Amino acid sequence: MSSLVPVVYYGGFLVLFFFWIYGIVSFTRDLKNRFVPGLRQYRRGRKQLAEADEQEREREEKEQQLY
């Protein structure tokens, strides 16, 4: 009976450790595959909007100078 206690004790820690590592790995994979590309796409879209606004403002300035 006394040899069963350490086996159950360490077996339980092994199971908990496995799920702990699995959670960390899943989180890093989610970051890499979901959040980082989404953040890049968001920044790219903001940059394109800023460039479009800049071009529109320059066009309006040129029109104002013509009149």
pLDDT score at 1: 61
Cβ count within 10 A of residue 46 = 10
pLDDT score at 65: 85
User: Alpha-carbon distance 45 to 17, whole Å?
Assistant: 41
What pLDDT, in 10s, does the model give residues 33-42?
Answer: 999 999 999 9
Residues in the chain: 67
How many CA atoms lie less than 13 Å away from 49 in the CB half-sphere? 6
| pLDDT in 10s for each residue of the chain, 67 residues | 679 999 999 999 999 999 999 999 999 999 999 999 999 999 999 999 999 999 999 999 998 887 7
Using CA atoms, how far residue 63 sits from 51, 55, 56, 57, 67, in Å, is 18, 12, 11, 10, 7
The structural domains of the chain, with segments of one domain joined by +, span 1-67
